[in-house]
Structure 1
Amino acid sequence: MTRLLLVNPNTNTRTAAVMAAIAQRAAPSGVTVEGATVATGAPLLDDPAKLAEGALAVQALLAATDLSPFAGVIVAAFGDPGLAESRAAAPVPLTGIAEAAMAEAAAAGRFVIVTTTGLLKPAIDARVAQYGHAPRHAGTFLTEGAAAALMADPARLEAALEATARHALAETRADAIIIGGGPLAAVAEALRPRFPVPIIEPVPAAVRLAVRRAASR
């Protein structure tokens, strides 16, 4: 049995449970996904300061965890907080959900990112460049309204993400759409059958990449 550890970089345990369940559904037979939530930080990483807190919390959790039973670790926030900093010391491969989603989207062609966290747009676009996908990035599109308010109303969140994704697709004619956010995993799953291009779900994408990395060790 192959075990993966999914680390939730915010303090919302419900979000962690949702992401772990989606990851488990995406995992192939013989792979189990276990969730862990950081002990400190914010319940929603919606600005650069909170993202930085999340990075420190991820590093602390991984440093305090015996990773030897696991074949890989998934960092499940779209800014990939703490991923680069933790890789050098980790005994197993680490995979970020933004890293994995962007790789899958770029493989499909030109892609857009749709997200709720407008204050993180510079950080997200920096990740695109860092991972080498800037030539295929057709833009990052933001929902209207505060991220926390949208997250508190699932129906409104789903409607806002769908409307923004449709606008992004009409404007860019992109080949793929990333729904950018770990806590948005359930909405990404719901939107997938409604669009004529692939909806890239970051959590399942990370599972697929983590499994490949585990198999190549």
Structure 2
Amino acid sequence: MTEQPAPDVSGPRVLLMNPNSNKATTRTMCAIAARVLPGVTGWTAPAGPPLLTNPASLAEAGRLVAAAELREGLAGVIVSAFGDPGRDELAARLDIPVIGIGEAAARAAAQGGRTFAVVTHTPALETSIDALMHNAAPDARYLGTYLADGDPTELSADPKKLDAALLYAVRRACHDGAEAVIIGGGPLGEAADRLADHAPCVLVSPILHAALQLQAKLRLPKA
């Protein structure tokens, strides 16, 4: 099973697609998006790893997202992995807005001409992340990707270690001149919430900003 049942709520139906296979992560990400969007349902990749950590897994996730058979009646889709896997292909075959959290975060972070950076815990994806940031905000002052120290799977299993490693990287980025820092990863959505009051600069939550951008595209009233 991939797509979760729609909740009994009013408003446009929005699908949040989790390109990894962790259903608990899907529920967490849906809860973040639901702060600003009514009617969010979740889709979890039917195969692949529970955490996307390298280009091969990201590419395979993109194929699953692009080929997914979605229910009719959707108003919009959020692709909730930071590399936006499959977003372009899915958008090309649907006539509704399809928002990738990576692109949404880059645009939000660069608002007002801010210098920004990405902090994440997947070193093998650094090159693809940097390319996405440059493509999404080509005129922005982008400092690059700052990596949390540690194995991504082990960090993800220990929220305290994860938060400490991410916060250290955030502080390095801010010291280097970042005015905004993106916590780069759909599964890092809760960490972005936890660190928001501890960072020395603005933290950008990719899922929340993707939801806000979709809210604007659908012309929904602000929550």
With the shorter chain as reference, the TM-score category is over 0.9
Given candidates 9, 12, 16, the residue that maps to 1:2 is 12
Question: Of 15, 32, 37, which aligns to 2:44?
Answer: 37
2:53 aligns with 46
**Residues 162-201 of structure 1 mapped to structure 2, 5 A cutoff:** 162-170=167-175, 172-201=176-205
Is structure 2 residue 121 aligned with structure 1 residue 111? no
Instruction: Give the secondary-structure state (helix, strand or coil) at the position aligned to 2:78.
Output: strand
- Offset at residue 126 of structure 1 (A): 0.8
Q: How far apart, in 2, do the equivalents of 1:130 and 1:173 lie?
A: 21
Deviation at 1:132, TM superposition (A): 3.2
Separation (CA, whole Å) in 1 of partners of 2:138 and 2:33: 24
Preserved contact between residue 128 and residue 134 of structure 1 (Cα < 8 Å): no
Give deviations 1:150-174, integer Å, cap 9, x for gaps. 111111111110111111111x221
The answer (yes or no) to whether the contact 2:49–2:57 under 8 Å persists in 1 is yes
Matched, 1:22 2:29: no
Amino acid at match of 1:48: P
Structure 1 residues not aligned, in runs of 5+: none
The 4+ residue runs of structure 1 with deviation greater than 2 A are 132-135
- What stretches of structure 2 of length at least 5 have no aligned partner? 1-10
TM-score normalized with structure 1 length: 0.92
Greater Cα shift, 131-140 or 195-204:
131-140
Deviates more, 1:198-207 or 1:129-138: 129-138
Aligned position for 2:156: 151
Retained in 2: the 8 A contact 1:102–1:133?
no
Task: Provide TM-score, normalisation by structure 2.
Answer: 0.90
Q: Secondary structure at the match of 1:44?
A: coil
In the alignment, what sits opposite 2:213?
209
Residue 141 of structure 2 corresponds to residue 122 of structure 1: no
**Greater share of helix:** 1
Q: Name the count of aligned residue pairs.
A: 209
Partner of residue 11, structure 1: 21
- 1:92-111 to 2 correspondences below 5 Å: 92-108=96-112, 109-111=114-116
C-alpha root-mean-square deviation of aligned residues, in Å? Answer: 1.4
Between 100-109 and 134-143, report the one with greater CA deviation: 134-143
Q: Is the 8 A contact 1:41 1:57 kept in 2?
A: no
The percentage of aligned residue pairs carrying the same residue is 41
3-state DSSP class of the match of 2:34? Answer: helix
* Other-structure match for 1:78: 82
1:131 aligns with 2:136: yes
